[in-house]
Amino acid sequence: MSKKDYYETLGVNRDASDDDLKKAYRKMAMKYHPDRNPDNPKAEAHFKEAKEAYETLSDGQKRAAYDQHGHAAFEAGGMGGGSPFGAGAGAQGFDFSDIFGDIFGGGQRGGRSSVQRGSDLRYNLEITLEQAARGTETQIRIPTQAECETCTGSGAKPGTTASTCTTCSGHGQVRVQQGFFSVQQTCPRCHGTGKMIASPCKSCNGQGRIKKHKTLSVKIPAGVDTDDRIRLSGEGELGVNGGPPGDLYVVVQLKSHAVFQRDHNDLHCEMPISFSIAALGGEIEIPTLDGVATIKIPAETQSGKIFRLRGKGIKGIRSATHGDLHCHVIVETPVNLTDKQKELLREFEAINDKDNERHNPRAKSWMNKVKDFFAE
């Protein structure tokens, strides 16, 4: 029985590039792999066909022979006879790391992968509303890891050197067989460094790094808000084996303010006024971030009314204009009344009762709604 054409098996043209072959094989391998198709002999057969086709066509010498002679190139008297996978390859001897390296973390042949970028750090910085509005500069002290000065980062005791790891031969990675797959993993002995330290440095216990604290100056731009981040490049954790350091992200948190509440670029505040000013009107002074402002209170102002002062809010980082200040009126009930005040209020109430609907329209409207509710 004649074998199926390798190009047809992978579904590619005869002029397909190495990348085209790899993509086609990966697609078929993921579809027909026995682990994904248990108890399906047809899927296993397709998988073996694809595997055989890919290993032949991905090898330049074998592909040239196949293009010229077809399957006959690998029969007895062809390219040494036997399996196209070469001596001792077998069904489980094929290395999948070049195909599935991005899935299993392999794919880096013959080289160390121990050079790593340092981790990014986060620092939560609390500032006041005034500092956020105007901008400020402050200093922070953060824990970090620095290169050990005793061993200059080698991890070995001064006067000694690290030796090559015998488990991974200095590559930092080893191959582990898992069924059909040959998976590349970090060496468990040297933890990816490729080195073994017989006499570790006493200052850093062989780590090559020590814990320290450093003080940094941070410029806070005007207009920042809660959860805004300021990036300090290269101020994160030290890299591993010569890798670049990470970054430090300063995350802004606003402290609670005694007067104002921030809502994006707007500010809100409560404005208590006396009963007499609410009824008769008047002027009151209120604080702003720029000083004191005066608001005219019209007569018969009700509790809950909002006065807006344009441009008295905050100019955000990404905004071209200032927000507004919203003042929420709260009519304050007097407390600790004297006998004279109580007497005057009772006299006022008695006069008020004679024309209650006129002087208290909201109360009258509410009472009518209550009556209608119970009448239903």
Q: Answer for the pair 296, 280: CB distance below 8 angstroms, yes or no.
A: no
Whole-number Cα distances in Å, 351 to 124, 160, 345: 60, 101, 10
CA pair distance 315, 301, nearest whole angstrom: 30
Q: Which pLDDT value is given to residue 365?
A: 58
Domain with CATH 1.10.287.110 in the chain: 6-94
Joined tokens for residue 290:
């720029």
Fold of 6-94: Helix Hairpins (1.10.287)
CATH homologous superfamily for the domain 121-254: Heat shock protein DnaJ, cysteine-rich domain (2.10.230.10)
Q: Answer for the pair 344, 315: CB distance below 8 angstroms, yes or no.
A: no
CATH homologous superfamily for the domain 261-372: Urease metallochaperone UreE, N-terminal domain (2.60.260.20)
pLDDT one-digit tens code per residue, 121-164: 899 999 999 999 999 999 999 887 777 888 877 788 888 888 88
Helix (H, G, I), strand (E, B) or coil at 159: coil
Helix, strand, coil shares, percent, the chain, to 5: 30, 25, 45
Q: Which pLDDT value is given to residue 85?
A: 39
Q: Answer for the pair 247, 231: CB distance below 8 angstroms, yes or no.
A: yes
Q: Which pLDDT value is given to residue 109?
A: 40
Place of tokens 């991905």: 58
Q: Which pLDDT value is given to residue 322?
A: 92
Rounded to two decimals, what is the model's pTM?
A: 0.54
pLDDT one-digit tens code per residue, 202-228: 888 877 778 888 889 999 999 999 999
Taking residue 230's Cβ as centre, other Cβ atoms within 10 Å add up to 16
The number of C-alpha atoms within 13 Å of 122 and in the hemisphere containing its C-beta is 7
Q: Low-confidence residues of the chain, pLDDT below 70? A: 1-2, 75-115, 177-182, 240-242, 353-376
Q: Which pLDDT value is given to residue 313?
A: 92
Q: Which pLDDT value is given to residue 355?
A: 62
Q: Answer for the pair 26, 104: CB distance below 8 angstroms, yes or no.
A: no
Contact partners, residue 255, CB within 8 Å, separation at least 6: 126, 127, 128, 129
